[in-house]
Amino acid sequence: MLNDLFIGGAFRPSLSGERLPVVNPFDGSVLTEIAEGRAEDIDAAVAAAADAFPTWKAVPASERGKLLLRLADALESNSEEFARLESLNTGHPIRDSRGLDVPRTAACFRYFGGIADKLEGDVIPVDTGFLNYVVREPLGVVGAVVPWNFPMMFCSWKLGPALAAGNTAVLKPSEITPLTSLRLAALMKEVGFPDGVVNVVPGFGNTAGERLATHPHVAKIAFTGSTAVGKRIVEYSASNLKRVQLELGGKGANIVFEDADLVAAVNGSAWAIFHNQGQACIAGSRLILHESIAETFLERFVKLARSIRLGDPLDPQTEMGPLTSAIHRDRVLSYIKIAVDDGAEIIAGGKAPSDALLGRGFFIEPTVLRVPDFRSRVCQEEVFGPVVTVSTFASDAEAIDIANSTDYALGGGLWTQNLARAHRIAAHMRSGMVWVNSYKRVHPGSPFGGFGLSGYGREMGFEALHQYTDPKSVWINYDASIPPWYPRSS
């Protein structure tokens, strides 16, 4: 396992010499100790990225794209190694790491490799005799700060567009899950990215993260994480007016209408909340059921939730792994208590499993809570665990009211076989992404992000590529007749 900082194309210890443990969430054991990056290491990484920027910016876009394509291929060639490393560090079941994390990461690098040389400018029809063209210029050094829930995939969501557009980057992974990002850094070197183009400095948020977000030579912070830290990033950014992109929390509404295909809705809704132990910003954490089908739906849903196989993330049979840290496991358990104190009824799960083997890890059973009030805390605040609340509704208008009742607005879904209703409800849902008869679909070409407290800016697609550039407007006078403003000077 790689366990040093990656700065200027080389792995090296932190300047302080401090190291921090990386824990296996399956059994609480220490997997390795990695160098802990602090402010002075971030300074070194930003300096390396700033040195590399003029050269990288001048590399033809098609060549930058080719390196990203090569990276995607190399990742696929090493897919098993990456899948196992991600599962060991995060607790993702290996079937998810193999089937989703690695392919989605590769697909994202490949997508941005493919569009690197398709970032076109504009020609604006301005005054006669003038040619006005707009080119999109890279920003400079981009700071990428990512959380622990999908650490490898988020590297590609940020580095893909940043590098394709000609920026260099300093990535600060979560202190909890740095392993795949360090391995990715090594792979980038292997496929030929020049030294300094990407630098990876794991460390804590209030030291390394804060330095990156306040650094005067960082042009943009692309942040994924909690809303609370996102607000601080905005404050930090004021120091040099750096660009900010925020992918923050969510509280996904998942509405099931009485005309839904119940088999698909039950299965899809379980995936919506229980995939990745519910540790997903777009998790469908609020089930909103039409009252006429609620009991039938819940009977099947609870049966499915109870049947989900918890186990060793490296076992291909495992369908749900541990939560990624003990602190987070305790936080999720405290939300279940808050819900019960507020009158919720636990109809599945609600606790850590009693099994002795699982007891060593950070597991929580798939949990279903019937809530008396959709305005209660557990329905409004992000739990970020395998915990879903259930509310019922009688009319479409009521379903929309419940769906739109939180300050978050990231992802949401609905299940119906009525086409007109599907479009109508999608139009009324306050949500950056809406899935109809599915949930949690993502694609590197489709904008990903939210409204309200879920942040601003978008990952993916040309939308993201543009957000890693600034437009420059160039005016050429080739045949304009401009009467002199001061006639005497002629």
Helix (H, G, I), strand (E, B) or coil at 45: helix
210 binds ligand NAD (CB under 6 A): yes
What are 488's two structure tokens?
């005497």
**DSSP code, position 277:** G
The strand pairing partners of 456, in sequence order, are 246
391 binds ligand NAD (CB under 6 A): no
Helix (H, G, I), strand (E, B) or coil at 32: strand
Which C-beta is closer to ligand NAD: that of 46 or that of 260?
46
User: Could you tell me if 321 and 287 are in contact, meaning their C-beta atoms sit under 8 angstroms apart?
Assistant: no
Candidate segments 34-42, 126-134, 143-151, 419-427, binder of ligand NAD by CB under 6 A:
143-151
Candidate segments 136-144, 198-206, 435-443, 463-471, binder of ligand NAD by CB under 6 A:
198-206
Packing angle of the helix pair 61-77, 179-191 (nearest 10 deg): 120
252 binds ligand NAD (CB under 6 A): no
247 catalytic? Reply is: yes
Min separation Cβ 431 and ligand NAD, Å: 12
Closest CA to 202 of 331, 36, 56: 36
Which C-beta is closer to ligand NAD: that of 69 or that of 153?
153
Packing angle of the helix pair 61-77, 151-164 (nearest 10 deg): 160
Candidate segments 3-11, 42-50, 100-108, 245-253, binder of ligand NAD by CB under 6 A:
245-253
| Separation of alpha carbons 208 and 201, rounded Å | 8
Min separation Cβ 208 and ligand NAD, Å: 7
Query: Which residue in the set 49, 69, 159, 213 belongs to the binding site for ligand NAD (CB under 6 A)?
Result: 213
281 catalytic? Reply is: yes
380 binds ligand NAD (CB under 6 A): no
The catalytic residue among 108, 155, 281, 379 is 281
The residue length of the chain stands at 490
Which C-beta is closer to ligand NAD: that of 67 or that of 453?
453
DSSP codes joined into one string, 81-110: HHHHHHHHHH---HHHIIIIIHHHHHHHHH
Which C-beta is closer to ligand NAD: that of 19 or that of 232?
232
Query: Which residue in the set 36, 96, 175, 365 belongs to the binding site for ligand NAD (CB under 6 A)?
Result: 175
143 binds ligand NAD (CB under 6 A): no
Asked whether the CA dihedral 274, 277, 283, 286 is positive or negative, the reply is positive
Closest CA to 14 of 24, 23, 3, 22: 3
The catalytic residue among 247, 365, 382, 459 is 247
What are 189's two structure tokens?
């070197």
Which C-beta is closer to ligand NAD: that of 133 or that of 204?
204
User: Could you tell me if 254 and 286 are in contact, meaning their C-beta atoms sit under 8 angstroms apart?
Assistant: yes
Query: Which residue in the set 384, 393, 435, 468 belongs to the binding site for ligand NAD (CB under 6 A)?
Result: 384
Query: Which residue in the set 37, 143, 250, 457 belongs to the binding site for ligand NAD (CB under 6 A)?
Result: 250
381 Cβ contact list (under 8 Å, min separation 6): 251, 335
Query: Which residue in the set 56, 111, 112, 148 belongs to the binding site for ligand NAD (CB under 6 A)?
Result: 148
Footprint of ligand NAD on 329-358 (CB under 6 A): none
207 binds ligand NAD (CB under 6 A): no
Candidate segments 26-34, 59-67, 74-82, 208-216, binder of ligand NAD by CB under 6 A:
208-216
- Position of minimal CB gap to ligand NAD: 205
36 binds ligand NAD (CB under 6 A): no
Min separation Cβ 343 and ligand NAD, Å: 25
Which C-beta is closer to ligand NAD: that of 225 or that of 413?
225
DSSP codes joined into one string, 288-330: EEETTTHHHHHHHHHHHHHH--B--TTSTT-SB---S-HHHHH
382 binds ligand NAD (CB under 6 A): yes
Amino acid at 129: G
Min separation Cβ 172 and ligand NAD, Å: 6
DSSP codes joined into one string, 192-247: TPPTTSEEE----IIIIIHHHHH-TT--EEEEES-HHHHHHHHHHHTTTT-EEEEE
Which C-beta is closer to ligand NAD: that of 69 or that of 442?
442
User: Could you tell me if 328 and 341 are in contact, meaning their C-beta atoms sit under 8 angstroms apart?
Assistant: no
312 binds ligand NAD (CB under 6 A): no
Min separation Cβ 396 and ligand NAD, Å: 27
Candidate segments 23-31, 87-95, 172-180, 333-341, binder of ligand NAD by CB under 6 A:
172-180
Which C-beta is closer to ligand NAD: that of 290 or that of 440?
440
Q: Kindly write out the interface string for residues 404-443 of this chain, putting x where it contacts ligand NAD by CB under 6 A and - elsewhere.
A: ------x---------------------------------
| Separation of alpha carbons 278 and 285, rounded Å | 8
What are 151's two structure tokens?
């650490």
Closest CA to 7 of 47, 36, 34, 39: 47
Active site residues: 247, 281
Residues near ligand NAD, by CB under 6 A = 145-149, 172, 174-175, 204-206, 209-210, 213, 224-226, 229, 232, 247-250, 281, 382, 384, 410, 454-455
